[in-house]
Amino acid sequence: MSTPSIGPLFHMIAGAPDPVAPFSHAVEQDGWVFLTGQMPFTGTANDSPYPEGIAAQTHQVFANLGRVLEGIGLGLEHVLSARVFLLHFDRDYGAMNAVYQTYFAPGRRPARTCVGVSGLARGALIEIDFVARRPAAAPDSAP
């Protein structure tokens, strides 16, 4: 017997950077969680500065994504797919990958797309979004 689906949950996470446009930090439906792309803001205000360089910005984006995941009770181990957007693809791809790979265990890395773009909010070098899946609840045991 399938469980009826409830409507989508729109998550805004305290302590995560304020959105730069009108959107939620994450939207969840039937255990699937779609995290909005995060920018490398060092604070919660969307006019906070970015750190210098692609490595530092990649670490900051992961910190910001981590805040969103934590705010909905998930972690990087629940991420199934990532999309990476780079302002300077040829220049920054290798350095971004060197940082990116430190966040996921070998053999447990999400599917990923990485593309070069012509611009990102406030001149960021990188933006990353995630698709995660909430683990299914264990079925109740009958006595």
What's the CATH number where 51 sits? 3.30.1330.40
Is-above-0.85 flag for pTM?
A: yes
In a domain, 3, yes or no: no
Q: Which tokens sit at 75?
A: 């972690």
In a domain, 62, yes or no: yes
How many domains, the chain? 1
In a domain, 139, yes or no: no
Domain that holds residue 44: 10-133
Walk along the chain (143 residues) and give the pLDDT tens digit of each residue.
445 568 999 999 999 999 889 999 999 999 999 999 999 999 999 889 999 999 999 999 999 999 999 999 999 999 999 999 999 999 999 999 999 999 999 999 999 999 999 999 999 999 999 999 999 876 665 55
In a domain, 4, yes or no: no
